[in-house]
Amino acid sequence: MDKIMDLIAQEEKYQNETIRLIPSENFTSENVKKALASDLTNKYAEGYPGKRYYQGNKIVDEIENLAIERGKKLLGVEHLNVQAYSGSPANSAVLMALVEPGEKICGMKLNAGGHLTHGHPKITFSGKFFNSVQYDVDVEGRIDYEKLRELVVAEKPKLIFAGTTAYPWILDWEKFAKVADEVGAWLVADISHIAGLIVGGVHPSPVPYVHIVTSTTHKSLRGPRGAIIGVTKKGLDRDIDLAKKIDRAVFPGLQGGPHINSIAAMAVAFEEASGEDFKKYAEQIVKNAKVLADTLREGGLKVFGTENHLMVVDVGLERGKEVAVELEEAGIIVNANTIPHDMGSPFKPSGIRMGTPAMTTKGYVEADFVALGVKIADIVKR
Ligand code: DSN
C-alpha cells in the first residue's frame, strides 16, 4: 500500500479517537466526502455556468447552479459566488472588487479575535496593500461599538469587515451597519465561524444589514473546505453591478479553475444544513459551549464567553502553547490563542481557544461537556 494511504488511515483513526475542540473544525458527512473524492476533481471549468472556457461542462454547470441556488436560499442572499478556494481568497476577492490599493479598510485586531485578511498590518495582503485601521475589544473581550464608531468616523475607511475568528459573543450587525452607513463604507460580514449557527437560527443573520457576506463552508456549516461570497439586497441597492464585480474579482481576478468537487460538496452541505436536524445541531452546539464555559469557570479558570460556539480561556502569561500540548497528550485537541489584551504574543499567547461544533457532530451533549470541562480544568491547573 502507498505510504500516503496508510497515513490517511492513521489520521482518520486519530481524529476519531481524540476529542476535537478546535472551533473552526468539524466532521463532514459521508456524502460531502463522497462529492470531494468524486471524478469532479478531474474537470476544468474556468468561467461561470453557461460561460466556460472549456468544453464538456454541461453537468458541471448544473452542479454549480444547484450549489448557488441552495446557498442563496439558505443564507437569504441575492447572489452567491461558490468558487473561492477558501476564506482568505474570498476576502481577498472582496477587497479586489471594492477597494483600490492604498485605500483605507477597517477590521478587528487579530489579538482581539479578528482575522489576518481583515487588514492585519504589514505581513498580510490585506495589511500591506491597503491602509488598514483596526478596532479592539474591551476587557471582557466584547467589541466596544462606541469606540468603533469613533475610529470609523475619524478614519473614514472605504470598507469595514465585521467578522471574527476567536470572538465568543453575539455580533450586533445593526450597530455595525449604523457605523458603516454613517461614513458610506462597504460593510462585509465574514461569518466563517458562525455560518452554521446563523442558518441554524441561533445567531442573528447579518444579511439585512450588510452589503456582502463571506464565509468558509467547512466550519460550523459542516461542509467541504471552500468559501462563498454572498451579495445582499442592500449591496445590490447600492451598486447594481456588485454581483458582477465580485464574480470578476474571483475569476479571472484572483483564481483559475474552480474546484468543482468542492462546489458539489457544498451543495450537499447546504441541503444538509437546511433541515430541522441541523437546527437542533446548532442549538446543541451553543448549549454545549455554555456548559463547557461554565464548568471551566467553576473549575477556577478565567473564561471569555460564551454566547456562541467558542470560548477563549486564560491559562496564564504565555502558557497557551504549553497547555495546548499538555491537552494534546491527554487526547484533547485545542489551539493556543491570544486572549483579549494579551501581554504575550501570537507566538507565545496566554490562552487556548475551544469550541463545540465538531464534538456536537459526534453526539456530545451537556453531560459530556461537564465531564470534559472538569478534565480540562484539572490539566490547565496542573
Ligand atoms: N484558521 C481559521 C480558524 O481557525 O479560525 C480562521 O481562518
Domain ranges of the chain: 3-28+276-380, 38-273
- The pLDDT assigned to 382 comes to 85
Instruction: List average pLDDT for each run of 10 residues in the chain, which is 382 residues long.
Output: 96 98 98 98 98 98 98 98 98 98 97 93 94 95 97 98 97 98 98 98 98 98 98 98 98 98 98 98 98 98 97 97 98 96 91 98 98 98 88
Burial 191-228 (b: 16+ CB within 10 A, else e): bbbbbbbbbbebbbbbbebbbbbbbbbbbbbbbbbbbb
Annotation: binding site for (6S)-5,6,7,8-tetrahydrofolate: 110, 114-116, 345-347
Residue whose Cα lies nearest atom 6 of ligand 1: it is 165
- The pLDDT assigned to 346 comes to 81
Give the alpha-carbon dihedral of 171, 101, 130, 247, to 10 degrees. Answer: 30
Grid coordinates of 74: 439558505
Span 38-273: which CATH code? Answer: 3.40.640.10
The residue to mutate among 25, 111, 125, 165, having the most atoms of ligand 1 within 8 angstroms of its beta carbon, is 165
Distance in angstroms (rounded) separating the CA atoms of residues 23 and 189: 19
- The pLDDT assigned to 241 comes to 98
Q: Which residues line ligand 1 (CB under 6 A)?
A: 24, 87, 115, 165
Distance in angstroms (rounded) separating the CA atoms of residues 281 and 242: 34
Distance (angstroms) between ligand 1 centre and the Cα of 42 equals 28
Cβ-contact 78, 243 below 8 angstroms: yes
- The pLDDT assigned to 218 comes to 98
Span 3-28+276-380: which CATH code? Answer: 3.90.1150.10
- The pLDDT assigned to 151 comes to 98
Report field, pTM of the whole predicted structure over 0.75: yes
Residue whose Cα lies nearest atom 1 of ligand 1: it is 24
- The pLDDT assigned to 35 comes to 98
- The pLDDT assigned to 302 comes to 97
